[in-house]
């Protein structure tokens, strides 16, 4: 079983995101980048599949030079090789342009299964997995929490949480599956893993190598354009209701909820 895991490098959730004064984007100077947490589930699941069935685990990542660090993290966990898509032309793409670029790269990789995270924690779009499946004409199941590959490796049973229960689906392979928390506990890379990762093959491809035209990728190839970023309004300070006991405070609270918060 050869598995491809699409991995995105995203700013750490604890990074303070500052919007550029003109609203054209965010200030990236002080950002600490990490692997999109949902993609870690994909890598972990791919490694478990490899441990059971053998095969090759490939990381596919579209991202600039700094993304190498994230790719190495995945290789340190145990993935065998990686393909990085790096070209200034790829920048600023929406989910469609991203999926298109990834789909093109996947033509050169053998796979029986593709994992995407359910969403990237920066843009929070949750579209790339689905778009990718469409472009590749593959079945897709999103937000999976459990995966069982059939013995003949031709199909898989997946569980996904839906409101009030679990939906169990059978999907033929190859397929695109998007991963959700609960699928597994991603491993912490061992030190020999980290050392070995430095020597694992990392193939960097640019626009020319993919054979795409520059107007079909990145910002130019996008179907949606971000026109402006604004920071969330600063949160107002909380209010502490003073008073002796519930007899005094409760009426005050009700009044505030009705008149100021307009909730009741």
Partner 1 sequence: MNVAGYTIMGIPNFVLLSIVIIAALVFFVNRVKYLYIILRIGKEDNRFKEIGKRIKITLKRILLQICVLKDVRVGDLAGLGHAMIFYGFLCFAFSYIFMFGRGFIPGLSFHLLGASFAGYFPLILDIAALMVMIAIVWALLRRYVVRPPRLETTREAVIILGIIFFLMVFHFLMEGFEINIDSHETATLAFVGAAFAGFFNNMGFEKTTQEALFIASWWIHVLLVLGFMVLIPYSKHLHLILAPFNIFFKSLGPKGALMPILNMEEAETFGVSNIEEFTWKQLLDLYTCAECGRCEINCPAHLSEKPLSPRHLIHDLKVHLLEKGSNLLRSKNGGDGKTETGEAAEGYEGKSLIGDVVSEDKIWSCVTCGSCMEQCPVSNEHVDKIVDMRRYLVLMESKFPSEVQAVFRNMENNSNPWGIGWATRGDWAKDLGVKIMSEDSNVDILYWVGCAGSFDERNKKISTSLVNIFNKAGVNFGILGAEEKCCGDSARRIGNEYLFQMLAAETIEILKNYNVKKIVTQCPHCFNTLKNEYPQFGGEFEVLHYTEFITELIAEGKLKLTKPINKTISYHDSCYLGRYNTIYDAPRKILKSIPGVKLVEMLRNKAKSICCGAGGGRMWMEEHLGKRINEMRLQDALDVNPDLISTVCPYCLTMFEDAIKEKDVQESLKSKDIAELVEEAME
Ligand X SMILES: Cc1cc2nc3c(=O)[nH]c(=O)nc-3n(C[C@H](O)[C@H](O)[C@H](O)COP(=O)(O)OP(=O)(O)OC[C@H]3O[C@@H](n4cnc5c(N)ncnc54)[C@H](O)[C@@H]3O)c2cc1C
124 and 15 Cβ atoms separated by less than 8 Å: no
| Residue in 54, 65, 192, 232 binding partner 1, rule: CB under 8 A | 192
Site for ligand X in 230-259 (CB under 6 A): none
- In the bound state with partner 1, the residue whose beta carbon lies nearer, of 18 and 146, is 18
Question: Can residue 14 be called a binding residue for partner 1 (CB under 8 A)?
Answer: yes
> Which pair of tokens denotes residue 206?
């640019």
| DSSP code string of 11-45 | E-TTS--EE-TTSSSEE-TTPPEEE-HHHHHHHHH
Residue 123, binding choice from ligand X, partner 1, none, Cβ under 5 to 8 Å by partner class? ligand X
Instruction: State the CB neighbour count (10 A cutoff) for residue 139.
Output: 17
Q: Report in angstroms how near the CB of residue 164 gets to partner 1 at its nearest.
A: 29
Site for ligand X in 55-74 (CB under 6 A): 60-63
The CA–CA distances, whole Å, from 127 to 44, 89, 199, 254 equal: 21, 21, 33, 42
Q: Residue 204 and residue 192: Cα distance in Å, rounded? A: 24
- In the bound state with partner 1, the residue whose beta carbon lies nearer, of 14 and 260, is 14
Site for ligand X in 19-48 (CB under 6 A): 36, 38-39
Task: Specify the 3-state DSSP secondary structure of 75.
Answer: helix
Q: Residue 18 and residue 20: Cα distance in Å, rounded? A: 6
Q: Residue 111 and residue 96: Cα distance in Å, rounded? A: 21
> Which pair of tokens denotes residue 141?
């199941």
Question: Can residue 176 be called a binding residue for ligand X (CB under 6 A)?
Answer: no
Residue 102, binding choice from partner 1, ligand X, none, Cβ under 5 to 8 Å by partner class? ligand X
Contact string (CB under 8 A) for partner 1, positions 33-52, x = contact = -x------------------
> Which pair of tokens denotes residue 3?
């598995």
| Residue in 64, 80, 187, 220 binding partner 1, rule: CB under 8 A | 187
Site for ligand X in 125-144 (CB under 6 A): 125-130
| Residue in 194, 202, 220, 253 binding partner 1, rule: CB under 8 A | 194
Q: Which residues contribute to the site for ligand X (CB under 6 A)?
A: 6-8, 36, 38-39, 60-63, 95, 98, 102, 116-117, 119-120, 123-130
């Amino acid at each position: 079983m050869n598995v491809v895991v699409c991995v995105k490098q995203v700013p750490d959730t604890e990074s303070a995101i500052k919007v550029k004064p003109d609203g054209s984007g965010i200030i990236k100077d002080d950002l600490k980048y990490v692997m999109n947490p949902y993609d870690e589930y994909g890598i972990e699941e791919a490694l478990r599949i490899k441990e059971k069935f053998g095969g090759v685990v490939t990381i596919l990542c579209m991202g600039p030079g700094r993304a190498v660090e994230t790719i190495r993290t995945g290789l340190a966990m145990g993935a065998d090789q990686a393909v990085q898509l790096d070209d200034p032309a790829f920048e600023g793409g929406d989910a469609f342009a991203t999926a298109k670029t990834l789909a093109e790269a996947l033509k050169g990789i053998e796979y029986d299964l593709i994992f995407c995270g359910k969403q990237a924690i920066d843009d929070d779009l949750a579209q790339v997995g689905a778009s990718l499946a469409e472009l590749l004409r593959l079945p897709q199941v999103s937000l999976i929490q459990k995966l069982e590959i059939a013995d003949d490796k031709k199909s898989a049973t997946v569980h996904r949480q839906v409101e009030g229960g679990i939906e169990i689906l059978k999907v033929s392979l190859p397929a695109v599956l998007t991963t959700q928390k609960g699928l597994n506990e991603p491993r912490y890379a061992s030190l020999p893993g980290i050392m070995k990762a430095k020597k694992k093959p990392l193939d960097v491809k640019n626009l020319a190598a993919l054979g795409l035209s520059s107007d079909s990728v990145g910002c130019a190839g996008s179907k949606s354009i971000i026109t402006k970023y604004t920071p969330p309004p600063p949160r107002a300070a909380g209010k502490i209701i003073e008073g002796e006991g519930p007899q005094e405070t409760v009426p005050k609270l009700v009044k505030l909820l009705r008149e100021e918060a307009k909730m009741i």
